[in-house]
């Protein structure tokens, strides 16, 4: 395998492998280009299986010549069979939950940040930074701490308290910006011009985004080297969605798996649904929105990879759709009650869309479906407030029996 | 009318290294046309068939023009126009 260059996704212009992310000719996004032609599938599979218990087992498909030193390696999160959830939804399908909350900072962002921080070190940066809706902030602060780098983390100032606390603890420079995520992102795009820092999702974005491919590889490996028939995936910027597709495609091309791309169902919150709106309107570009949803981790009103997410949904006969805040809360509870997995609001969005697909009868009998849960419920506790009642009793038997008399008798 | 247009790093090869350009115009479209007149290479880099390319964001005093009237958005004297790549974030 060799990493060839950075290549513009729009016009194909090639650039050297530096801290670049924009094509100077057409302003399109840059992406890492590889040559996998000398990868033998049998030997590659053997190397993966003999590799580390995390994302670096897939180093052959990541933008490094060797395996970087990573003290906080994410990945190999559980793929859980969700029979009870399938039953509750009336599905006669093989339903799986990829629980990516089981990462070092409890979201899939550890994957992309591990790759970006390793690249930042390789390129000689001593400070990393990011524009974040919360999960990325946690991950950048933690991985910078583990690597001994300075960090600056920019978030909307009105973020969930849990996400602020779980970022500040790592000793980062936490900057709350009075504005929404798109304001934060614009500011960071400008700061990336004037500060010699590695902004993981700005000037290092081509490398950072590659980390999401590992979710596709793991899915295939955990399904016994087979592909799912359908995936249900949250969409914020659209990067995870498109890179999952690229991950599956690379393994199809190399011959590590056979079959075809799964159907891709993208999930957004109605209060921030630029990609779902563009998909249903038949547009090729997204019209930006001002977010207003409890799913703050998905609240990107101007999604950078929106056009590519729409293309991939169409190419796989999939769709992108949205759910309301009420449906998000139902989704969180449904997943928790049937699988024991407590997800944040983004997972509520994804399960919400799964529920809609099930209700409409779009999931065929025997279909193998993987639902991507990208973050942890403890980070968005407010979303579960007032969704259940606690029984409060005195510390004696009578009090308990009185409280539960009806249920015990029944 | 004097409007300051901020040029991102990735486009400065086309402006001879200039990071800011002073032009005049009553709308974003007029201002950009004035910039293209001064630096011809820029037109093809950020526009296609008369529209902005899909990964170009333009802000007037910090506000995305897509929330306003796009290229028709009116500009007051002394305002600044910022061109930025739309491929970051997430």
pLDDT in tens, A206-242: 999 999 999 999 999 999 999 999 999 999 999 999 9
pLDDT averaged over every residue in chain B: 94
Which pLDDT band holds residue A408 (cuts at 50, 70, 90)? Answer: low
Residues A130 and A108: beta-carbon distance below 8 Å:
no
User: What pLDDT is attached to residue A149?
Assistant: 98
| Closest Cα in chain B, distance from residue A72 (Å) | 21
Contacts of A108 in chain B (CB under 8 A): none
Q: In angstroms, what CA-CA distances link A387 with A162, A330, A348, A367, A383?
A: 19, 9, 14, 32, 8
Pick the CATH number of B3-85 from 3.40.50.300, 3.10.20.30, 3.40.250.10, 3.30.420.40: 3.10.20.30
For the segment A13-28, what is each residue's pLDDT rounded down to a tens digit?
999 999 999 999 999 9
Strands (E), A75-213: 79-81, 94-99, 127-131, 150-156, 173-177, 198-199
ipTM for this model: 0.94
Q: Which residues pair with A30 in a beta bridge?
A: A8
Nearest to B10 among A10, A22, A186 (CB): A22
Written as one string, the DSSP assignment of B6-29 is EPPGGGGGGGTT-SEEEE--SBHH
Q: Which of B53, B84, B90 minimises the CB distance to A26?
A: B53
CB contact under 8 Å between A28 and B46, yes or no, is: no
Instruction: Considering only CA atoms, give the Rg of chain B.
Output: 12
Q: Which of A27, A29, A304 sits opposite B46 (nearest CB)?
A: A27
Mean confidence (pLDDT) of chain A? 96
> Which strand ranges, in their side-by-side order, compose the sheet holding A173-177?
A173-177, A150-156, A127-131, A198-199
Identify the CA nearest to A129 among candidates A151, A104, A100. A151
Chains A, B: CB contacts within 8 A come to: 94
Residue A22 is nearest to which of B66, B67, B85, comparing CB atoms?
B85
Q: At what angle do helices A161-168 and A135-147 cross, to 10 degrees?
A: 10
What is the DSSP annotation of A328-346? HHHHHHHHHHHHS--B-HH
- Provide the shortest C-alpha distance from residue A272 to chain B (in Å): 14
The residues, any chain, with a CB within 8 Å of residue A360's CB and separated by 6 or more, are none
What percentage of chain A exceeds 90 in pLDDT? 97
Share of chain B above pLDDT 70, in %: 99
For A24, name the nearest residue in chain B, comparing CA atoms only.
Answer: B10
Nearest CA in chain A to B41: A25
| Element (DSSP H or E) covering residue A309 | helix A306-315
- Give the predicted TM-score (pTM) of the model: 0.96
Q: Is A130 helix (H, G, I), strand (E, B) or coil?
A: strand
Q: Is the dihedral of CA A45, A47, A48, A49 positive or negative?
A: positive
For chain B positions 15-74, those within 8 Å of chain A (CB to CB) are 45-46, 53-57, 59, 62, 64, 66-67
Residues of chain B contacting A185 with CB distance shorter than 8 Å: 88-89
Domain spans of chain B?
3-85
Q: B1 pLDDT exceeds 80? A: no
Say whether A307 and B89 touch across the interface (CB within 8 A): no
Q: Looking at the predicted structure, is the pLDDT value of residue A64 above 80? A: yes
Residues of B in contact with A305 (CB under 8 A): 90
For residues A21 and A23, give the distance between their C-alpha atoms in angstroms, rounded to a whole number: 7
Three-state DSSP state, A294: coil
Strand partners, A351: none
Nearest CA in chain B to A304: B87
């Amino acid at each position: 395998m060799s990493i060839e260059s950075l290549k513009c996704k729009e016009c194909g212009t090639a650039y050297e492998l530096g801290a670049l992310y924009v094509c100077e000719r057409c302003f399109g996004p840059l992406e890492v280009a590889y040559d996998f032609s000398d990868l033998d599938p049998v030997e590659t599979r053997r190397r993966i299986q003999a590799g580390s218990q995390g994302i670096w087992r897939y180093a052959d498909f990541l933008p490094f010549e060797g395996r970087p030193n990573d003290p906080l390696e994410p990945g190999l999160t559980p793929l859980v069979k969700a029979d009870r959830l399938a039953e509750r939804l009336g599905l006669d399908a093989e339903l799986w939950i990829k629980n990516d909350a089981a990462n070092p900072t409890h979201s899939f962002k550890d994957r992309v940040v591990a790759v970006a921080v390793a690249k930042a070190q390789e390129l000689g940066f001593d400070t990393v930074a990011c524009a974040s809706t919360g999960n990325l902030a946690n991950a950048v602060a933690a991985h910078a701490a583990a690597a001994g780098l300075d960090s600056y983390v920019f978030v909307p100032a009105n973020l969930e308290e849990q996400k602020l606390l779980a970022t500040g603890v790592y000793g980062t420079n936490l900057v709350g910006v009075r504005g929404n995520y798109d304001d934060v992102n614009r500011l960071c795009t400008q700061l990336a011009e004037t500060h010699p820092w590695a902004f993981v999702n700005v000037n290092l974005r081509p490398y950072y985004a590659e980390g999401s491919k590992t979710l596709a590889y793991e899915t295939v490996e955990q399904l016994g080297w087979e592909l799912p028939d359908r995936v249900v995936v949250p969409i914020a910027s659209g990067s995870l969605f498109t890179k999952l597709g690229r991950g599956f495609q690379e393994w199809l091309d190399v011959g590590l798996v056979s079959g075809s791309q799964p159907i891709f169902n993208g999930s957004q919150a109605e209060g921030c649904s630029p990609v779902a709106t563009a998909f249903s309107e038949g547009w090729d570009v997204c019209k930006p929105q001002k977010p207003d949803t409890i799913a703050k981790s998905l609240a990107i009103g101007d999604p950078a990879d929106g056009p590519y997410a729409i293309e991939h949904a169409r190419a796989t006969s999939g769709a992108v759709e949205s759910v309301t805040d009420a449906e998000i809360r139902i989704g969180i509870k449904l997943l928790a009650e049937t699988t024991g997995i407590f997800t944040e609001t983004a997972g509520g969005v994804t399960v919400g869309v799964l529920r809609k697909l099930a209700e409409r009868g779009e999931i065929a009998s025997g279909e193998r479906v993987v639902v991507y849960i990208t973050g942890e419920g403890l980070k968005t506790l407010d979303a579960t407030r007032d969704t259940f009642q606690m029984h409060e009793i005195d510390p004696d038997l009578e009090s308990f029996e009185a409280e539960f008399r009806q249920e015990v008798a029944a | 009318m004097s409007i300051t247009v901020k040029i991102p790093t990735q486009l400065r090869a086309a402006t001879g290294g200039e990071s800011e350009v002073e032009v005049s115009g009553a709308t974003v479209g007029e201002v950009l046309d004035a910039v293209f007149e001064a630096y011809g290479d820029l037109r093809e880099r950020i526009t296609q068939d008369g529209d902005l390319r899909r990964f170009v964001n333009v802000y007037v005093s910090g506000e995305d023009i897509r929330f306003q009237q796009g290229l028709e958005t009116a500009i007051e004297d002394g305002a600044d126009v910022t061109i930025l790549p739309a491929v970051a974030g997430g």
